[in-house]
Structures are given as C-alpha cells and as structure tokens.
Structure 1
Amino acid sequence: MATVELRFSALPEHVRTARLVAAAVARRAGVDEAVLDEVRLAVGEACSRAVGLHESHDISAPVRVLLIEDEKKFSIEVGDGVSGAAGAPGSGEAESVSESDAEGEDEMGLAVISGLVDDVEVTAGEDGGMIRMSWPTTTAAVLP
C-alpha cells in the first residue's frame, strides 16, 4: 500500500494543485480513465470545503490530503482542522447570517461529492473533520 501525503495552506489557489496531484496519483494507481474527472471534481469540492472551514474558523493549520493506493481501491482522505461538531454538517450551534450561508455552501459541496463518489464517508472528531472517498482500481476489476 502506497500513500502520498499533501499538506497545503488553506488558500483557494492551492485547491487546483491538490486536484492535479490527486488525478495523477489516481491514474498511477489504476483508476479508470473515465473516472478521473470525477476524482478531480470530488477532490476539488472536498478541498474547497476544508479551505472554507479553515477560513471561517480562523484555523492556520494546513489542509491534509492523503492519497492511498491499495490492492483493490484508491482512496483519498481530505482532512480539515475544525475539531468536534463545528465541522460537522448541520451542527446545532447558533449561527450568524454569514455562517448559515457558509453552511448552505458546505451542504451543497457534500451533495456534489456524494453525487460523484459511490463510496464516501464524512466524519468529525476532536482532531478535525475528514472526507474519505474511494474508487475501485482496474486491477480490482480484473482480479476474481
């Protein structure tokens, strides 16, 4: 199992780089060429969400992206530094108008990711939130 770790400052201009790196590693891992656009879009949405959470919660820690090659699947984990329920969708905290707008964008981003990726999991914990997405590799389709 090979893993590539990418960390970047929570700035929107770095999201494009994360998308390009994710697509290159996915191609090398054996993800079907027809799915690479979905990988790029999903990673872009997940990274944009993490950047937005970092900006809205004034977090200076970098956004973390893990690209994991396994025998039968390729996984991407995008982690933010927002601890606890603050990063969880629909957390029941009091909100200002701008926070509710940000939550609406967050929900839209999660809906887009769910539409692009069959295997997706969103979690939030003390160390921050994470979106884990995975796709089968072409070697998985060939193996019995």
Structure 2
Amino acid sequence: MATVELLFSALPEHVRTARLVAAAVARRAGVDEAVLDEVRLAVGEACSRAVGLHRSVGITTPVRVRLTEDEKKFSIEVGDDAPHTAVAEAVAGSSGTSAMDREEASEAEDDMGLAVISGLVDDVEVSAGESGGVIRMSWPTVPASVLP
C-alpha cells in the first residue's frame, strides 16, 4: 500500500496544486482515465471546502490531503481542523445580513459542495466534529496486469 500526504496552507491558490497531485497519483494508482476528471473535481471541491472552513474561523493549521493506493482502490481523505460548531458561530458573527441568513447561506454553500462531491464519487463519507472534519472518497483501480 502506497500513501502520499500533502499539507498546504489554507489558501485558495493551493487547491489547484492539490487537484493536480491527486490526479497524478490516481493515474499512477491505476484509476481509470475516464474518471480522472471526476477525481480532480471532487478533490477541488473538498479542498475548497476545507480552505473555506479554515479561513472562516481563522485557523492557520494546514489542510491535509492523504492519497492512498491499495490493490483494489484509490482513496483520498481531505481533512480540516475547523471545529464545526465554531464555523456556524463565526458565520453568525460576521456583519451584513442577519445571523440566520448568513448561517443558512454558509450551510447552503457547504451542502452544494458536498452535493457536487456526492454526484462525482460513488464511495464518499463525510465526518465532522469538534476537532475538525474529513471527507473520504475512493475509486476502484484497474489491476496493473489489465493495463496496456
């Protein structure tokens, strides 16, 4: 089993790099070429979500991406350190529209990103709590003996 770990500062400009690394590792792991765009898009959504969560509550720890290849599947975990109860409080504390409107807008954005990921990835799991959250995604790999 091979694993690649990527840590990056919670800045939007690093999401592209995470997408490119994920696609390259997925290709090497034997993920079907036809789904590499889905891998790129799903990783981009998950990383953008993690960056947004970190930035919304002022967390400076890096976003974590773990790419794991085993005999039958390729897995990606994108982790954030944002306490998910604090995210709603930070959104509610921003100025402008009412706290309820801001919280609903933030949740709608979050739900939209998760919906996009769910539409791209058959095997996805989302967990979130006080110490942060993780999105786990996986794709089947083609055995090396089948590759041309």
Normalising by structure 1, we get a TM-score of 0.88
Post-superposition offset of 1:139: 1.4
Residues 1:120 and 2:124 are matched in the alignment: yes
Question: Do residues 20 (structure 1) and 20 (structure 2) align?
Answer: yes
Deviation at 1:13, TM superposition (A): 0.4
Partner Cα separation in structure 1 for residue 46 and residue 86 of structure 2? 16
Q: Deviations 1:49-78 (Å, cap 9, x if unpaired)?
A: 000100111111100000000110000000
Which segments of 5 or more consecutive residues in structure 1 lack a partner in the other structure? Answer: none
Matched length: 139
> So what's the TM-score if we normalise by structure 2?
0.86
Partner of 2:109: 105
* Bigger mean CA offset, 102-111 vs 34-43: 102-111
- The 8 Å contact of residues 23 and 39 in structure 1, kept in 2 or not, is answered as yes
Larger radius of gyration: 2
The one-letter amino acid paired with 2:111 is E
Q: CA RMSD in A?
A: 2.3
Seq. identity, %: 78
Q: Which residue number corresponds to residue 129 of structure 1? A: 133
CA distance in structure 2 between the aligned counterparts of 1:5 and 1:86, rounded to whole angstroms = 26
CA contact (8 A) 1:79 1:128 kept: yes
